[in-house]
Amino acid sequence: MDIRKITERVSYVGVNDRVTNKFENLWPLPHGVSYNSYLVKGSEKIALIDGVEVTYIRALRTHIENNSGGQKIDYLIVNHMEPDHSGAIPLLLDIYPEMKIIGNKITIGMLQGFYNISESQCEEVKDNDVLSLGDVSLKFIMTPLVHWPETMMTYLEEDKVLFSGDAFGCFGALNGGILDTEMNTDWYFPEMYRYYSNIVGKFGRQVQMALKKTDHLDVKYLCSTHGPVWHDRISEVIDIYNRLSLYEGEEGVTIIYGTMYGNTGEIADEIANRLCERGVKNIKVHNAGKSEMSYMISDAFRYKGLIIGCPTYNGSMFPEIDAFMKAMMVREIKNRVIALFGSYTWASAACKSMNECLEKLKMSPVATLDMRQAPSADDTKEAKRIADAVADAMGF
């Protein structure tokens, strides 16, 4: 058994990165990440679909040579130009100088801009164009802004394989297996939420357009640029991307709070306890001064309820909550049941500032608590009222 073989004609030639600490130098990679690349062997031509980050060229080359039967690569299909997939292209051209790079008009401009690759080495394709490899052909489907404007998908109709670019991807290196049927994929799913919400989360509308554009395709193998190749669990993966891109929250509440000396944090715990009393089982509490941002964004995308609290700081919000609010605004999060709790010592500003952010998101809190200094007995009662308002609005 060759685990790299997805179908008779399609082989996995990607690589694992367990070295990089942060994806895009922003998002932690505790379990690594894979850069997926695929080889499609037709009766006349061979195509490589997507490349890898530049430092992994040696492994990519070895995998290609082991799977190509010694034949040269005729085409490189560039579904997406972000350098985690395009970084090795100049070195691939050194190895395969005759190789034609297939991309759309924007891709070809980016190849020039990033790597000084001339148009003469490229072939432009448009939506629904088809490239023959002999007995099989590749069809190109433009899916702009999933994740960059040049993004497209490639469909191999004969084998029912969709090469989907970043869509349906997740963080996490591949630990032996390639296909979901070969491994326990359960732990990839939290990393899918974190990947989607942080990397693709801003582009929900475009993800929906791409889902509608591809939903008629018969897909047996869903080959993303990151994470396992999906076969058995395709419908679950599509369902996650569909729900997240519609901003549909699951049953549960995320509480995200800032606190300097623990007073605002006490309110967070009172709210969480009350939510539990009301029957909410999925409750995620993050101290924003300690939790890493990508996990907070992920939970805020995942769950329907969102309760945010912080003390007043320099006439505005506690800085980590300020950053979280900006992350929510950039990603245009919506459809949340929201409540706020703020605190102040001599001049209240946190609640007002958090509310201004919600107004920009066209959402309003179902309840607000503004606490002066340390929690009083009344504040504790108010914390329960906040939890009750959220639980009521969510139908608990």
Q: Give residues in contact with ligand FEO (CB under 6 A).
A: 80, 82, 84-85, 147, 166, 225-226
Specify the residue, 240 or 272, whose C-beta has the smaller distance to ligand FEO.
Answer: 240
SS (H, E, C) 203-239: HHHHHHHHHHHHCCCCCCEEEECCCCEECCCHHHHHH
- Taking the least distance from each CB to ligand FEO, the nearer of 79 and 312 is 79
CA distances for 221 relative to 169, 178, 296, angstroms: 13, 11, 31
Sign of CA dihedral 11, 72, 127, 170: positive
CB of 203 to ligand FEO, least distance (A): 10
Q: Which C-beta is closer to ligand FEO: that of 140 or that of 257?
A: 140
CB of 230 to ligand FEO, least distance (A): 16
Contact (Cβ atoms closer than 8 angstroms) between residue 86 and residue 48: no
Residue 306 phi, psi dihedral angles, 5° rounding: -140, 115
Q: In whole angstroms, how close is the CB of 23 to ligand FEO at the nearest point?
A: 8
Q: Which residue has the tokens 């805020």?
A: 300
Q: Would you say 195 or 313 has its CB closer to ligand FEO? A: 195
- Cβ nearer to ligand FEO, comparing 210 with 387: 210
The smaller minimum CB distance to ligand FEO, of residues 196 and 344, is found at 196
Cα distance from N-terminal residue to C-terminal residue, the chain: 51
DSSP string covering 343-391: EESSS--HHHHHHHHHHHTT---SEEEEEESS--HHHHHHHHHHHHHHH
Positive/negative CA dihedral, 164, 169, 174, 179: negative
- Nearest approach, Cβ of 146 to ligand FEO (angstroms)? 9
- Spell out a b/e string for 346-364, using b for 16 or more CB atoms within 10 Å of the CB, else e: eeebbbbbbbebbeebebe
Q: Token digits for 5?
A: 């073989």
Please say which residue, 147 or 286, places its beta carbon nearer to ligand FEO. 147
The tokens of 11 are what? 């082989």
For residue 218, count CB atoms less than 10 angstroms from its CB and return exposed for 0-12, middle for 13-18, buried for 19 or more. Answer: exposed
Ranked by CB distance to ligand FEO, the top (closest) residue is: 82
Instruction: For residues 326 and 92, give the distance between their C-alpha atoms in angstroms, rounded to a whole number.
Output: 39
Q: How far is the CB of 164 from ligand FEO (least distance, A)?
A: 11
User: C-beta of 190: minimal distance to ligand FEO in Å?
Assistant: 18
Which CB atom, from 11 or from 225, has the smaller least distance to ligand FEO?
A: 225
Q: Least CB distance from residue 166 to ligand FEO, whole Å?
A: 4
Quote the least distance from Cβ 316 to ligand FEO, whole Å.
33
* Residue from 97, 94, 91, 107 nearest 52 by CA: 91
How far apart (Å, rounded) are the C-alpha atoms in residues 272 and 280? 9
Q: How far is the CB of 151 from ligand FEO (least distance, A)?
A: 8
Q: Write down how long the chain is.
A: 396
- Kindly tell me which of 52 and 394 has the beta carbon lying closer to ligand FEO: 52
> Taking the complex as a whole, how short is the minimal distance between the CB of residue 365 and ligand FEO, in angstroms?
34
CB of 4 to ligand FEO, least distance (A): 20
Judged by CB, which is closer to ligand FEO: 85, or 286? 85
Q: Which is nearer to ligand FEO, 84 or 320 (CB)?
A: 84
d(CA 194, CA 247): 14
Q: Which two tokens stand for residue 37?
A: 């690349």
Question: Would residue 192 be called left, alpha or beta, if left means φ above 0 and alpha means ψ between -120 and 50 degrees?
Answer: alpha
